[in-house]
């Protein structure tokens, strides 16, 4: 975790802050969802508590805390309590592995009367070499939380909701995993920093030794893998059990799916897990296909130099640049999170057999075709 | 092993955080009063006939088995995809492509087999 005390401290604080960032984003997202759905359906939504109803979620949270503790009579107590805790873990572990801003350099500085540094600090929880494989592996553990909740509740509707959710998640995981293979063929690496670095500058191809460029477009993955990006987005909707794929929560047949018996803070923790999953999916989409934390055509060195020319110190300039790129990354993520809300109130729900057919018989073959075509094109272009 | 330390630390922290929320809210909220009707599963209001741990349709097991087969096949494509670029620059890209072609052919054959044997039909 670090070579000396300050580095260990920085890394630990970073881990906790990234987790809290995810947790704190959820109330805002719920607010955006409620206000956004109201906007789309031509009504007001929560607008009484605080400005624009922003305090509504704080009021809800306070009420959640004071809810009565309840376990269904036939339920398995330990499993019932463990499920919401397990639901939190995969999203948090996966989100911490995604770089949120550029790696910045800290020159030696004075702290507690001693000189510390120099450090190179990654703006991410931890840098795992296998990047995307780690995230796919960890985030698919989310299925266990749903199964535990369904089994522990001892309610048929919970169990059926959980089974449906898990069957749907694992079916779409195939398409999700396969749609990434095309992008990996283009980037030739699992490492996020390298993937983002390859998306810098203007769009330029190298076809059999000749350089072709389109100067007004950024060099983003979406222009290399449009079908892969679309398949990834659709599979991510299904992975997070959102409309139009929210069969696990089909109210008309299953009450509320796997969290039927849950209330108060425990239900909120399932929400934290679900929104964390959405955040991870959006962050992956941004990292793979939309240039990650980078501003198009602007590198972090340029901004650092500009800030230094205003008379800021080196450390200050580097930290400010990292925070600027972090803001860019969050804005890109929030755009995709808004698309989640938008789609939810636009498309109707599928039937279950249609959903499974779409996953296995449409998305999987298309993702496979995308992989084959990408491999052949990469081979012909680089030979 | 050095890489695993922050992952385990974060996992432990999140688990503690979640446990703390569950424990604290159960201490703060009003104490539950025993009530037979409340202990029923949340259904339609008529006393339940069966317990919640009912039979699981065999379809789900089949889906899980097929998922494992296909997921492993997809995972084998990852190392291939990472090394494909290097193999082209080193001059044996065609062999790499052909080897994966055979593998993908088996994959497609499996998918067709699965569709044809109606393993994916849901009523």
CA distance A353 to chain B (A): 5
pTM for the whole thing? 0.90
Res B52: pLDDT: 56
Kindly determine whether residue A96 and residue B10, on different chains, have CB atoms separated by under 8 Å.
Answer: yes
- Which residues of B fall within a CB distance of 8 Å from A179? none
Question: Which of helix, strand or coil describes residue A204?
Answer: strand
pLDDT at residue A3 above 80? Answer: no
For A53, which DSSP code?
G
| Separation of alpha carbons B61 and A293, rounded Å | 41
Q: What is the mean pLDDT of residues B22-47?
A: 78
Kindly determine whether residue A378 and residue B51, on different chains, have CB atoms separated by under 8 Å.
Answer: no
pLDDT per residue over A311-367, tens digit each? 777 888 888 888 888 999 999 999 999 998 888 888 888 888 888 888 888 899 999
CA distance B79 to chain A (A): 9
What does residue B2 show for φ and ψ, rounded to 5 degrees?
-55, -35
Res A251: pLDDT: 65
CA distance A312 to chain B (A): 33
Using 50, 70 and 90 to split pLDDT, how confident is the model at B50? low
- The CA R_g of chain B, rounded to the nearest whole Å, is 26
- Which residues of B fall within a CB distance of 8 Å from A96? 6-7, 10
Check if the beta carbon of residue A175 is closer than 8 Å to that of residue A367: yes
CB count in 10 Å sphere of residue A187? 24
Question: Which of helix, strand or coil describes residue A331?
Answer: helix
pLDDT, mean over chain B: 84
pLDDT at residue A381 above 90? Answer: no
Q: Is residue B123 part of a domain?
A: no
For A247, which DSSP code?
G
CA B118 to chain centre: 22
CB count in 10 Å sphere of residue B116? 9
Could you tell me which chain B residue has the CA closest to the CA of A65? B25
- Which residues of A fall within a CB distance of 8 Å from B26? 69
pLDDT per residue over B97-115, tens digit each? 898 899 999 999 988 888 8
Between chain A and chain B, the number of residue pairs with CB atoms below 8 A apart is 212
Kindly determine whether residue A66 and residue B30, on different chains, have CB atoms separated by under 8 Å.
Answer: yes
Q: What is the mean pLDDT of residues B11-32?
A: 87
Return the closest-CA partner of residue A93 out of A124, A64, A62. A124
- Which residues of B fall within a CB distance of 8 Å from A93? 7, 10-11, 14
Res A9: pLDDT: 84
In chain B, the number of structural domains is: 1
- Which residues of B fall within a CB distance of 8 Å from A142? none
Check if the beta carbon of residue A273 is closer than 8 Å to that of residue A173: no
Res A311: pLDDT: 77
CA distance B74 to chain A (A): 6
Q: Is residue B21 part of a domain?
A: yes
Nearest by CB: B93 against A66, A85, A379 = A379
Could you tell me which chain B residue has the CA closest to the CA of A173? B71
Q: Which residue would you say has higher pLDDT here, A25 or A304?
A: A25
pLDDT, mean over chain A: 85
pLDDT at residue A252 above 70? Answer: no
Give the number of residues written for chain B. Answer: 123
pLDDT per residue over A22-32, tens digit each? 888 888 888 88
What does residue B34 show for φ and ψ, rounded to 5 degrees?
-65, 135
pLDDT per residue over A117-143, tens digit each? 677 888 888 888 888 889 988 988 888
The H-or-E segment that residue A203 falls in is strand A202-207
Nearest by CB: B81 against A65, A181, A364 = A181
Strand A202-207 relative to strand A114-116, pairing: unpaired
H helices, E strands: number in chain B? 4, 0
Q: Which of A21, A22, A68 to mutate to test the interface with B (most CBs of B within 10 A)?
A: A68
Res A258: pLDDT: 79
**ipTM score of the complex?**
0.87
Q: Residue B91: which CATH number?
A: 1.20.58.1610
| Separation of alpha carbons A305 and A297, rounded Å | 15
Burial zone of A291 (CB within 10 Å; 0-12 exposed, 13-18 middle, 19+ buried): buried
Return the closest-CA partner of residue A11 out of A122, A135, A105, A162. A122
Res B51: pLDDT: 63
Nearest by CB: B52 against A68, A74, A382 = A74
Kindly determine whether residue B71 and residue A189, on different chains, have CB atoms separated by under 8 Å.
Answer: no
- The CA R_g of chain A, rounded to the nearest whole Å, is 23
Kindly determine whether residue A368 and residue B120, on different chains, have CB atoms separated by under 8 Å.
Answer: no
Res A281: pLDDT: 92
| Separation of alpha carbons B40 and B48, rounded Å | 7
| Separation of alpha carbons B59 and A344, rounded Å | 28
Check if the beta carbon of residue A310 is closer than 8 Å to that of residue A204: no
Res A265: pLDDT: 84
Q: Interior CA angle at A282 toward B67 and A262, to 5°?
A: 70
Res A24: pLDDT: 87
pLDDT at residue A373 above 60? Answer: yes
For A217, which DSSP code?
E
User: What would the DSSP string read from start to end of A295-319?
Assistant: BTTB-HHHHHHHHHHTT--HHHHHH
Res B122: pLDDT: 74
pLDDT at residue B25 above 60? Answer: yes
Q: Is residue B9 part of a domain?
A: yes
Kindly determine whether residue B67 and residue A170, on different chains, have CB atoms separated by under 8 Å.
Answer: yes
| Separation of alpha carbons A180 and A195, rounded Å | 12
Kindly determine whether residue A188 and residue B86, on different chains, have CB atoms separated by under 8 Å.
Answer: yes
Res A253: pLDDT: 66
pLDDT per residue over B33-42, tens digit each? 777 777 777 7
Q: Is the peptide bond before A251 cis (omega within 30 degrees of 0)?
A: no
pLDDT at residue A370 above 90? Answer: yes
Could you tell me which chain B residue has the CA closest to the CA of A259? B42
Kindly determine whether residue A174 and residue B70, on different chains, have CB atoms separated by under 8 Å.
Answer: yes
**Residue B49 sits in which domain range?**
4-116
Res A285: pLDDT: 92
- Token pair, residue B95, equals 């062999």
- Which residues of A fall within a CB distance of 8 Å from B120? 356-357, 360-361
Check if the beta carbon of residue A247 is closer than 8 Å to that of residue A169: no
Res B123: pLDDT: 67
């Amino acid at each position: 975790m670090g070579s000396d005390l300050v580095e260990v401290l920085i890394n630990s604080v970073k881990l906790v802050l990234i987790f809290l960032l995810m947790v704190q984003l959820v109330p805002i997202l719920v607010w955006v969802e409620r206000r956004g759905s109201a906007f789309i359906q031509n009504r007001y939504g929560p607008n009484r508590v605080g400005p624009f109803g922003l305090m509504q979620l704080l009021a809800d949270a306070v009420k959640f805390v004071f809810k009565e503790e309840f376990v269904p009579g036939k339920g398995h107590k330990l499993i019932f309590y463990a499920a919401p805790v397990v639901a939190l873990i995969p999203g948090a572990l996966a989100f911490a592995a995604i770089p949120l801003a550029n790696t910045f350099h800290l020159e030696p500085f004075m702290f507690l009367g001693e000189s510390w540094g120099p450090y190179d600090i990654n703006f991410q929880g931890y840098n795992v070499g296998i990047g995307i494989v780690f995230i796919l592996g960890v985030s698919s553990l989310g299925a266990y939380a749903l199964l535990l909740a369904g089994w522990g509740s001892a309610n048929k509707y919970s169990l059926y909701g959980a089974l449906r959710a898990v069957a749907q998640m694992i079916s779409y995981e195939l398409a999700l995993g396969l749609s990434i293979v095309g992008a990996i063929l283009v980037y030739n690496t699992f490492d996020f920093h390298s993937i983002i670095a390859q998306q810098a500058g203007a769009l330029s191809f190298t076809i059999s030794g000749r350089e072709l460029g389109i100067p007004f477009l950024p060099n983003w993955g979406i222009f290399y893998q449009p079908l892969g990006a679309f398949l990834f987005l659709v599979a991510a909707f299904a992975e997070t059990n959102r409309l139009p794929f929210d069969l696990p929560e089909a109210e008309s047949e299953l009450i509320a799916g796997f969290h039927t018996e849950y209330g108060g803070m425990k239900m909120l923790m399932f929400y934290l897990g679900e929104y964390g999953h959405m955040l991870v999916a959006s962050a992956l989409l941004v990292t793979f296909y939309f240039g990650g934390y980078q501003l198009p055509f602007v590198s972090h060195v340029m901004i650092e130099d500009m800030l230094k020319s205003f008379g800021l110190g080196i450390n200050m300039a580097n930290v400010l640049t990292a925070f600027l790129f972090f803001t860019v990354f969050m804005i890109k993520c929030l755009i995709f999170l808004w698309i989640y809300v938008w789609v939810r109130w636009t498309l109707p729900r599928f039937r279950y057999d249609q959903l499974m057919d779409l996953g296995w018989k449409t998305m999987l073959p298309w993702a496979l075709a995308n992989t084959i075509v990408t491999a052949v094109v990469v081979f012909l272009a680089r030979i | 092993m050095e890489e695993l330390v922050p992952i385990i630390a974060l996992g432990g922290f999140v688990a503690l955080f979640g446990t703390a929320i569950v424990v604290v809210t159960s201490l703060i909220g009003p104490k539950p009063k025993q009530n037979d009707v409340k202990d029923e599963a949340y259904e339609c209001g008529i006393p339940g006939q069966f317990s919640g741990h009912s039979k699981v349709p065999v379809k789900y097991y089949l889906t899980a088995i097929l998922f494992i087969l296909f997921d492993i096949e997809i995972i084998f494509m990852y190392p291939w995809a990472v090394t494909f670029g290097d193999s082209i620059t080193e001059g044996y890209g065609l062999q790499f492509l052909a080897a994966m072609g055979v593998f993908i052919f088996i994959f497609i054959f499996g998918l067709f087999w699965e569709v044809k044997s109606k393993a994916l039909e849901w009523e």
